[in-house]
Structure 1
């Protein structure tokens, strides 16, 4: 079965073709260079053609077939834009309340494109957003206080709650620039267990992080805890200890301006799944269905709004800001 080429991948290809550079295209459309490179590689693999030739003086030059494909792709994007314009004329049909829950650790990253973007598109929707931990969000669903929740697949009662996974977020180790393991290309759970750890102590999340050690019959040396992911990042940046997290902010600095380094954890670790949770006994109205559709468009293994997509995270390279 052929893999599909998405509109987003076409957009990345066209942006690169028009600018002649992946880096310039990345800055223009605000998407990471690895995501653009992977999209181009996918199109080339799917169509069995070479789209670009790299020349040191001129950057990326389209091949003959690449020139023809770019024109076709530009037309496809134009036609897709017409579809959105047509749908916008009927956006008034999406109206009414939406009680949305969002996991607090990644809410700041998803807010702009997904939540604010939805409210901006559907101005007749009365959006009520609750940010909280997993315990608060799942309780809200079961009490019908919340319609839809963007969260992790932690402690889900599948008899009562439907969870639709959208993207996998593998765990990684987070260090200050001065930490002795910050220069490693990868670290083991055994190495981490020997160093002080600061733990994100949210309901069910902390159990997940501790379980990564337990499956290796290890115990972490937890010296500090916090319920705030930003406080955890500040503790790490000030070299109080390392931490293990799943969300991947685009900027690897703490709020006090100190650099952080992400390092891959070697071996097999269970990733967290970010996705949509709804109560099985609830009937989803058109507003909820529209929001769910938006989440599917903006969250996948190839792209996560506001984050570095884990699908293209090179497991052999440390991630640092330049």
Structure 2
């Protein structure tokens, strides 16, 4: 019977810590309690729920059962809201404190995170924000397993359990070396570059986006160089190894190795790439996450190219 289920917040926290540490001993050290206290709390929780959550491996730590993995995923959101409730009970009002873990797509991070962190630190000095920087798959996994509460990313092939809110857009543009025949133009079409070598920013989903973008204009390109590093792509172009198409634009056109690229608006009628806040569908964000989302909206409202600030 559901009414017979009886567990405590302490048991839930001890289980979550043990599950993430994959060890009763490590969990006890983090929680600064005895190992027996952690073990007893987890056993009592399993008894109350009438389900095994952890598999104990002799001298090899712990692993989650399928039920335990799903329970941990739901529990992280519950514990985050429990912290919110505790803040309200202590009468902190609108003063936010504690930690918030967010995700951010690799190529967006250097353009957005410094401004977001600085602005949030001014508005909420007691709020500590940390970021997981990664590709689309890594960020989706972090959202699904509760490692982060929301993520700033491009709206590209996102998983069904996620919902998104667009906060700005990132129009694509072309970069060419300074001595390129089109370097002094005010814009360029992809078809005009069809015979030039192409340098591809090669991240999962990003590569498909850039290649589909060229194909949408009737041009099929075979990249001469590929790199998963944004600055390597820019430096290759600066050194005369081709042209590239990117979305985020630095304030200056100087590359890490001292070279220069020339930025050209793309004249083809291709849509900009939406930048979104993503989080689990049907999940209520904590006050910390809501504050982060609101600051993102304020900072990026009206921007059409986040990198230029």
Shift in Å at residue 281 of structure 1? 4.0
DSSP 3-state at the match of 1:190 = helix
Unmatched 5+ residue regions in structure 1?
1-89, 310-322
Give the TM-score taking structure 2 as reference length: 0.66
Distance, in Å, in 2 between the alignment partners of 1:100 and 1:151 is 11
What residue in structure 1 maps to residue 299 of structure 2?
Answer: 298
CA distance in 1, matches of 2:298, 2:122: 16
User: Secondary structure of 2:203's partner?
Assistant: coil
User: Pairwise CA RMSD of aligned residues?
Assistant: 1.9
Q: How does 1:223-238 map to 2 (within 5 A)?
A: 223-238=224-239
Cα shift at 1:275: 2.0
Paired position in structure 2 for 1:191: 192
Identify the residue that residue 167 of structure 2 maps to in structure 1: 166
Q: How does 1:251-262 map to 2 (within 5 A)?
A: 251-262=252-263
Residues 131-161 of structure 1 show CA distances to partners (whole Å, capped at 9, x for unaligned) of 111121122112221111111111123x411
- Aligned partners of 2:199 and 2:224 also within 8 Å: yes
Which residue does the alignment assign to 1:243?
244
Q: Distance in 2 between matches of 1:286 and 1:205?
A: 32
Q: Report what 2:130 is aligned to.
A: 128
What is the aligned partner in structure 2 of residue 308 from structure 1? 308
What does residue 179 of structure 2 align with? 178
Whole-Å Cα distance in 1 between the matches of residues 305 and 172 of structure 2? 16
SS of the equivalent of 1:93 reads coil
Per the alignment, in what secondary structure is the counterpart of residue 303 of structure 2?
coil
Shift of 1:177: 0.6
Contact 1:92 1:124 in 2 (8 A): no
Match of 1:142 in 2: 144
The structural deviation recorded for 1:303 is 6.7
After TM superposition, give the deviation of residue 130 of structure 1 in Å. 0.8
CA shift digits 1:269-296 (9 cap, x unpaired): 1211112111114331000000001100
What is the aligned partner in structure 2 of residue 64 from structure 1?
Answer: none
Give the deviation of 1:190 after TM superposition.
Answer: 1.1
Q: 1:91 to 1:303 in 2, by over 3 A?
A: farther
Secondary structure of 1:236's aligned partner: helix
Kept in 2: contact 1:94–1:287 (CA 8 A): yes
For residues 129 and 106 of structure 1, what CA distance do their matches in structure 2 show?
A: 12
1:119 corresponds to: 121
Q: CA separation in 2, counterparts of 1:304 and 1:94?
A: 30
Which of 1 and 2 has greater Rg?
2
In structure 2, what is the Cα distance between the partners aligned to 1:237 and 1:248? Answer: 15
Residues 249, 305 of structure 2: 8 Å contact kept: no
* 1:173-201 Cα shifts (integer Å, max 9, x gaps): 11111122222222112112210011000
CA contact (8 A) 2:171 2:304 kept: no
- 2:191–2:218 contact (8 Å) kept in structure 1: no
- Matched residue SS, 2:224: strand
Task: Note the 1:261-276 alignment, pairs <5 A.
Answer: 261-276=262-277
Write the distance in 2 (CA, Å) between the matches of 1:294 and 1:91: 18
CA distance in 1, matches of 2:217, 2:175: 19
| TM-superposed deviation, 1:304 | 5.9
Does the 8 A contact of 1:166 with 1:301 survive in 2? no
- Structure 2's unaligned 5+ residue stretches are 1-91
Alignment size in residue pairs: 218
